[in-house]
Amino acid sequence: MGVRVAVVGAGIGGLVLAAGLQRDGHDVRVHERRADAGALGAGLTLSGNAFAALDAIGLGERVRAVTGAGVAGLRAGQRRPSGRWMTTLPPAAVASLRSVHRADLHRALLDALRDGTLRTGAAASVSPDGAPVLRTPGGAEEFDLVVAADGLRSSSRSALGLDTGLRRAGYLAWRGVTAGALDVGGQAGETWGRGQRFGVVPLPDGRVYWFATAAAPPGPADGAADDLDALRERFGTWHDPVPACLAATPPGAVLRHDVHDLRRPLRSFVVDRTVLLGDAAHAMTPDLGQGAGQAIEDAATLVVLLRGARGGGDLRPALARYDRDRRRRTSRVARRSRSVGAVGQLAHPLAVAVRDAALSATPGPVLARAAEPLQRWAPPRPAG
């Protein structure tokens, strides 16, 4: 008999974990506090590392079926607001990058679960001592393993005494998707201005996922009806297709959030037989586009390490390996992501001029080689 696992949180990481464990014969239940388990968000990109992880647990083709080429085949890199390119990445550097609307990815993962796996509309809490007991309004239930994938503001992380607090990245981020297909002119990527950035990523159906950032004081977590007007003031004179993306986005359909990451890396992702996964373990800024990818790596690592495990068996070697491998990998990615964000958000004219000159002087292949470690991942050996 396989391992009985409870997963707290039906985000991308939690669903990938549940689907992968079920494919290996484990008994899994997912608890989601929201009554509607549908995904909130706009678009996202997945790199080669995410697909290597999905392939390792048999979910790669399912996810590829709902993703598109993203920026593959397009001219991609960094530009100035005028449209002048500072650097262009070689085609091979973006060949593995695929885009997807978060709702479509979420639906594909939900469809991979067995009927009855997901329980919605009831909060679930972990045991502070890490015992594999989940408490819900219906009572307490014991499992072989509890995995908390409950996001940036994880109550599980706090309950386990692991929370290091959140820190503000210093900028706001907006995300949106155009209402219909939009021609991006064969070009995509990011544009860096003074304290402001704008990114463009085509989705599989021809719509465009866009994101914008600006150094600004904290604001409400949800988008407001006047957000598009404010964004047009900021970015309306930038190169095409930036104004077109904003013009093609319905009013009130913009998501806004104040970007945070963990103040310090956690000392552990594991307490007894309770495990943290995804943002609950290593919330990072979105500047490398690796938030979902690292959660998927977490899930695949745990699935592989639990292969052959049986209920009632000793899970400590597998959990210790998960803790060691994932803390080492994610701390590096989170640190690098925040550094990239800090450079991208520079606002002083002299600092921006130096940044842009350095970027323009760096060949695209050099930048691509620097990104290679992020886009590589290999599964661990099973713990047995």
End-to-end CA distance of the chain: 16
Tell me if 133 sits within 8 A of 127, measured CB to CB.
yes
- CATH ID of 4-375, from 3.40.50.11540, 3.50.50.60, 3.40.50.720, 3.40.50.300: 3.50.50.60
Spell out the domain ranges in the chain. Answer: 4-375
Model pLDDT, residue 224: 56
Query: Helices 48-56 & 291-305, crossing angle to 10 degrees?
Result: 20
Model pLDDT, residue 71: 87
CA distance 192 to 346: 9
- Give the whole-number percent of the chain exceeding pLDDT 70: 97
Residues 6+ apart with CB under 8 A from 209: 42, 43, 44, 99, 101, 175, 176, 177, 200, 201, 202, 203
Which positions of the chain have pLDDT values less than 70?
38-40, 219-225, 383-384
Model pLDDT, residue 358: 96
Model pLDDT, residue 39: 65
Model pLDDT, residue 1: 75
Burial class (CB in 10 A: 0-12, 13-18, 19+), 228: buried
Residue 155 CA to its chain's centroid (Å): 19
Q: Measured between alpha carbons, how far is residue 102 from residues 45, 171, 181, 207, 299 in Å? A: 9, 22, 17, 13, 18
Model pLDDT, residue 69: 86
